Structure 1
Amino acid sequence: MTTFADPHLDGRYAWFRLAVSVLAATVASVGMWAVILVLPAVQAEFGVGRADASLPYTATMLGFAAGNFWLGRFVDRFGIAVVLTAAAVALAAGFGLAAVSRNIWDFTLAQGLLIGVGTSAGFGPLLADVSHWFRRRRGIAVATAACGNYLAGAIWPLGLRGILAEDGWRAAYLVIAAICLAVIVPLALMLRRRLPVAAMASGAPGGPAQPMAAGFRPATLQWLLALAGIGCCVAMSMPQVHIVAYCADLGYGVAVGAEMLSLMLAAGIVSRLASGLLADWIGGVRTLLLGSVLQGLALLLYLPFDGLASLYVVSLIFGLSQGGIVPSYAIIVREYLPAREAGQRIGFVIMATILGMALGGWMSGWIFDATGSYRMAFLNGIAFNLLNVAIMVLVLWRTKGPRPGAVALEPA
């Protein structure tokens, strides 16, 4: 009995490829966070309510969700380099058109059809590609690639703060368009090498690299994971989407909210890396369940604490709690489902998580308009989080097989 001997898996090139992927994800993921930063300014300029001002974010998440699924299918067929190049063009066009939009509806269409879809290439499709190049360290590799999304949330708000303050959100969007085109295309060209044969051979149903069985049909398990993803991300969206507006409503200002968002996402990076290491040891299901429980507890802390210092602390706790949840879905898919379908299956589950973010982002704005505060929105998030916990407990209870983090062996 020997382990996989293919030098490409977990090798030096795999780690180089991971580093390039993180850089590409950090740039591409600006589409998720830029719309949050400009939400108060867009609302004021176009003269709309909080729920209508949240629609561009919801449209972005819908495009992001669809892109994760469809671009995931394209990655399975054409590779990540082609997908990233097309995404760079879509992002540049989307931010350019949004910068010259005349009303909230033009802005929303640009966010959803171009920015959201383009941004998706830096998440689910990229995680699927990275997962093929690692065997023993797949958990930490996938989690590291997913950190690009949070690095974008930590870096871009600080980098754009001066432009937003001095020149406005339209100028900031034009700068983003130029950066996406100039940076993502060269990085995509560095990822043209085709996947190793061993990556496609692993993970076949019933094979040595597919040790886990949850007592569900593959389609049933995928839909359960999708429903769990909606639950956790409706909960996750409340602080992430509305923290800037929440701080503005409390009188602390947009700049403080942007700093709080950056702190939350920087803590999420730590959480993702720790969760990746943990997933290599205890498996994706247990890692996700732990993160979901901690996320629910962190949401509870927002209810009694709304002072400036306490909000910084609670946002830090929230970031440390939830960062590893979404990448765990990609790890679970690779633990339970065939490798050749990784792109579309990971894309489908990630699509569901983003639909949860979109639904939660709009729902929280609607609850705010209806009640005049975010208290009920936090309670709504906690309720959806309990749905996620219940599903993951069910999957864990039905799981049969060796320890999830065990490295499978195959005959020499």
Structure 2
Amino acid sequence: MPPFPPDSVETKASWAVASVALFILGMSFGAAWITAVALKDIANEVGGARSVPALASALAWLGSGIGGIIMSRIADRIGTRWTVIFGSLMIGLGLLISTFGPPWPLWIGHGLFIGLIGIGGINAPLYIYVSRWFDRRRGSALALISSGTYLAGAMWPPIFERAIANFGWRQAMLWYALAEVVVVAPLAAIYFRAPPEVILPAAVSGTGSSKARVLGWPPNAVFALMCGAAVLCCIPMAMPQAHLVAFCSDLGISRSAGALMLSVLLGTAFLSRQIWGVISDRIGGLATVLIGSAWQAASMTALLLTQNEAGLFTVAAAFGLGFSGIIPAYVLAVRELFPASEASWRIPTLLLFTAGGMAGGGWIAGLLYDHLGYYAPAFATGIGANILNLLIVSVLVGRKRQLAV
């Protein structure tokens, strides 16, 4: 039997597009990791307040979520190729502006340029764009491209740590800005042509009616529950990613070891996400979210209780293995439960809530540290949010199974 049935939109070109999208996301999200690695260096310039660089990272996440809604609509009109090229230029400009801070140029560079019109023009539009190249292995494809942020986290922190130690965080941002623009813009121009999936208007397809029920409930009620769950799972997800290097330093572990630990966390996330993609194709998006969220809660608890270097490396790897499948599984669940004609607004809206959770988690951890002087209360807050997420997702999974009987 041929690998791609005649009625499938999937071809070898689909995987080529997905691979290029992965690489572009890996370059684009690399911009935000400089601030995570240099968190203490930047904080030292504003009296040691870690909430200042943490807020910059938070604004980049939040901006990318808001920008994703706007830029996805624009991408539907002019093509994803152009929003990605524009986004890459804005990320470079945002890094340049950030070097004039902290605090305000850092916040503006990250929130407006790197987040809102930079990653916002790349991340959500690429989720929608790549999902339209696949119909049989969509979960695996979404898992692949959503690994871009973790590919960035696996590759860049050790490199940034050396660059920051030798040249300073500002010079690291400037050099990376140049590399990001030179690499991303040409790749987008060459590879991102019109996708093969034809999206029929809701009135024509008959599947987009606002009266249609999802899981036996009003569609927007189900979507609201998914968005709320997304915020709650991303709060704990962000905390180790934004603060692991600084947390290690507080325990007497070198920054180079902390950067390597962050690389291990995100490297295992990248590798395991491909496995989660295969799993989600078999069991569905919501069930995958439930399993990944439970694993994340257990790993976060272990992080709270671990203080030595070897133990933290182990916990970091376990954390990466667990949380990595959650966000693409949410996107897959949207495509499973809602009409394709609604993907261009539901997917970026959901990603806005995940970005809001990532923004809130990183900033809350920095704020609690500034007030209390240690990270345990922040990690405990993250665990509480994770438990609430598990309750919501359990309701949705239970409802789906009930209707399947």
TM-score when normalising by structure 1: 0.91
| Equivalent runs, 1:364-403 vs 2, <5 Å | 364-399=365-400
The aligned counterpart of 2:284 is: 283
Residue in 2 aligned with 1:137? 137
On the 8 A contact 1:133/1:199 being kept in 2, the answer is: no
SS at match of 2:288: helix
C-alpha separation between the residues in 1 aligned to 2:129 and 2:44?
41
Rounded Cα–Cα distance in structure 2 between residues aligned with 1:224 and 1:232 = 12
Matched residue, 2:109:
110
Identity in percent: 33
Counterparts of 2:152 and 2:323, CA distance in 1: 16
Kindly tell me: are residues 374 and 205 of structure 1, through their superposed partners in 2, closer, same or farther at Cα, counting changes over 3 Å? farther
Contact 1:205/1:338 (CA < 8 Å) preserved in 2?
A: no
1:295 deviates by: 0.4
CA gap of 1:249–1:205, structure 2 versus 1, over 3 A, is farther
Question: Counterpart in 2 of 1:306?
Answer: 307
Aligned residue number for residue 237 of structure 1: 238
CA distance in 2, matches of 1:352, 1:389: 16
Look up the SS of the partner of 2:146 in the other structure. helix
Structure 1 residues 218, 306: closer, same or farther in 2, change over 3 A? same
Task: Tell me the distance in 2 between the aligned counterparts of 1:260 and 1:171.
Answer: 23
What are the Cα deviations for residues 277-330 of structure 1, in whole angstroms up to 9, with x where unaligned? 001100000001000001001111112211011000001000001001111111
Q: Which has the higher contact order (CA 8 A, sep 6+)?
A: 1
Cα distance in 2 for partners of 1:388, 1:333 equals 17
RMSD: 2.2
Cα distance change on mapping 1:10 and 1:286 into 2, 3 Å: same
**3-state SS in 2 of match to 1:252:** coil
Find the aligned partners of 2:80 and 2:163 in 1 and give their Cα distance: 32
> Hey, what does 2:25 align to over in structure 1?
25
Q: Could you report, residue by residue, the CA deviation over 1:323-348 in whole angstroms, capped at 9, with x for unpaired residues?
A: 01111111011111121221321111
In structure 2, do the counterparts of structure 1 residues 401 and 130 end up closer, same or farther at CA, with 3 Å as the change threshold? farther
Shift of 1:395: 1.2
Cα gap change, 1:155 to 1:367, in 2 (>3 Å): same
Structure-1 residue corresponding to 2:255 = 254
1:3-402 paired onto structure 2 within 5 Å: 5-6=6-7, 9-99=9-99, 101-117=100-116, 118-198=118-198, 206=207, 213-399=214-400
- 8 A Cα contact 2:31 2:176, kept in partner: no
Work out the CA distance in 2 between the residues paired with 1:26 and 1:205: 38
Structure 2: which 5+ residue stretches go unaligned? none
Look up the SS of the partner of 1:96 in the other structure.
Answer: helix
Post-superposition CA distance 1:201-241 (Å, at most 9, x none): 8995649xxx9932222222221111001100111112111
Give, as a single letter, the amino acid of the residue that structure 2 aligns with 1:196: P
Task: Report which stretch shifted further, 272-281 or 27-36.
Answer: 27-36
One-letter amino acid of the structure 1 residue matched with residue 327 of structure 2: V
Provide the rounded CA distance (Å) in 1 between the counterparts of 2:401 and 2:191: 36
The amino acid that maps onto 1:28 is S
CA contact (8 A) 2:158 2:256 kept: no
Q: Matched residue of 1:303: which SS?
A: helix
Q: Which stretch shows the higher mean deviation, 48-57 or 151-160?
A: 48-57
Does the 8 A contact of 1:23 with 1:148 survive in 2? yes
How many residues get paired? Answer: 396
* Alpha-carbon separation, structure 2, partners of 1:281 and 1:341: 23
Describe the SS at the equivalent of 2:147.
helix
Shift of residue 111 of structure 1?
0.9
Q: Is 26-35 or 286-295 further displaced after alignment?
A: 26-35
Q: Distance in 1 between matches of 2:255 and 2:150?
A: 19
Q: CA deviation at 1:400?
A: 6.5
**TM value normalised by structure 2:** 0.92
Supply the distance in 1 between the matched residues of 2:126 and 2:58 (Cα, whole angstroms): 22
| One-letter amino acid of the counterpart of residue 223, structure 1 | A
8 Å CA contact 1:32–1:119 kept in 2: the answer is no
8 Å contact from structure 2 (residues 235, 382) kept in 1:
yes
AA partner of residue 378 (structure 1) = F
CA contact (8 A) 2:40 2:48 kept: no
Distance 1:260 1:197, change over 3 A: closer
Instruction: Provide structure 1 residue ranges, at least 5 long, that are not aligned to the other structure.
Output: 404-412
Q: SS state of the match for residue 46, structure 1?
A: coil
Letter of the 2:60 partner, please give it: T
Within 2, Cα distance between the matches of 1:261 and 1:120?
24
